[in-house]
Amino acid sequence: MKPTAVAEVCSEVRASQTLHVVGSGTKSSFETPIEAETSLEMSGISGVLAYSPEDRFIDVYAGTTIVELQQILKERGQALAIPDSCEFGALLAGVPGTVGGLVSMNLPHALNSQCGGPREWVLGLTAVRANGDLIYGGGRVVKNVAGYNVHRLFVGARGTLGVIVSVVLRVYPIAAIPHPSCERVREWNSGDPLAIQRVLPTDWDEARRNVSDRLFSCDRSSSTLWYAPAEASDIRFKNDWMIYANRQTGNLVDFSPNTQMLMTATKNQLDLFKKFNPGALGCV
């Protein structure tokens, strides 16, 4: 189902037992199989709700594509601080990926260490919760929350907490966006297995050496490696972070018991009956 209005999303959420939320599907290779009654494709709801170049924010519908968004911002000399898709190919860009997908995946990118990522750019958002009601979090200014940054829970949640319908994003003057520090080693074919690993700076040399013959790209400034996984020889480092795509044995890495407990508690508050993307993050 591809709604074209927010009210349709609310009705569909109310009526469905389980939903697979989809933007444009460009990051499906990172997903675990999701079995849901309804597929809710959000790319039909796009466009700008508000844009203030002077205040450096834009409020857009979640189905707006990154390419559309960058085009609108470019006219006012601004941009979202992600690298141009042609600079890093399929590894970083998913065309025509949506804003909702970008926020829900929160993947590393080539300007991470210099400009932050979706977690820093999302100033606020509106989402549909499991009972079909709209919820709002954050706002349009940078420091806008006195209590919990509830809207940030949705960043990287892979659609497991609700359907994001609009997002307020912080934007940058193009002139202030530095050149990406990422090194492009060889091309990744988007159907091939991929591992993304982020380590502590003190483990960088060893981590890079370990995957040097399998490397697609790397960024020393954020200690991030993109490479072809080779199960037995993939070394985990203390305090590292890891994510996979197109992997035979599945794309999820086990969460610690403490993390699982917190994720389950959060899921139970926002989506008690596991309506959204069931199993997308394993324990939730």
Ligand X SMILES: Cc1cc2nc3c(=O)[nH]c(=O)nc-3n(C[C@H](O)[C@H](O)[C@H](O)COP(=O)(O)OP(=O)(O)OC[C@H]3O[C@@H](n4cnc5c(N)ncnc54)[C@H](O)[C@@H]3O)c2cc1C
Interacting residue ranges for ligand X, rule: CB under 6 A: 21-28, 31, 42, 62, 66-67, 82-85, 92-95, 97-98, 100-102, 104-105, 107, 109-110, 158-159, 163-164, 277, 280
Please, which residue, 199 or 271, has the CB nearer to ligand X? 271
Give the Å distances, CA to CA, from 266 to 15, 64, 105, 276, 282: 23, 27, 18, 13, 14
Please, which residue, 55 or 87, has the CB nearer to ligand X? 87
CB of 54 to ligand X, least distance (A): 25
CB of 202 to ligand X, least distance (A): 25
Beta strands 215-219 and 19-22: pairing type? unpaired
Which structure tokens are listed for 151? 């809207």
Please, which residue, 85 or 260, has the CB nearer to ligand X? 85
CB of 222 to ligand X, least distance (A): 11
CB of 211 to ligand X, least distance (A): 19
Instruction: Kindly report the number of other CB atoms within 10 A of residue 50's CB atom.
Output: 12
CB of 276 to ligand X, least distance (A): 7
CB of 232 to ligand X, least distance (A): 27
CB of 66 to ligand X, least distance (A): 4
Please, which residue, 109 or 267, has the CB nearer to ligand X? 109
Please, which residue, 125 or 211, has the CB nearer to ligand X? 125
Please, which residue, 159 or 193, has the CB nearer to ligand X? 159
Write out the DSSP string of the chain. Answer: ---SSHHHHHHHHHH-S-EEEESSSTTGGGPPP---SEEEEGGGS-SEEEEETTTTEEEEETT-BHHHHHHHHHTTTEE-SS--HHHHGGGT--TT-BHHHHHHH----TTHHHH--HHHHEEEEEEE-TTS-EEEEE-SSSS--SS--GGGGGTTSTTSS-EEEEEEEE-EEGGGPPPP--EE-SPPPTTS-EEEEE--GGGHHHHHHHTGGGEEEEEGGGTEEEE---GGGPPP-TT-EEEEES-TT-SPPPPPHHHHHHHHHHHHHH-TT--BSTTTTS--
Please, which residue, 94 or 278, has the CB nearer to ligand X? 94
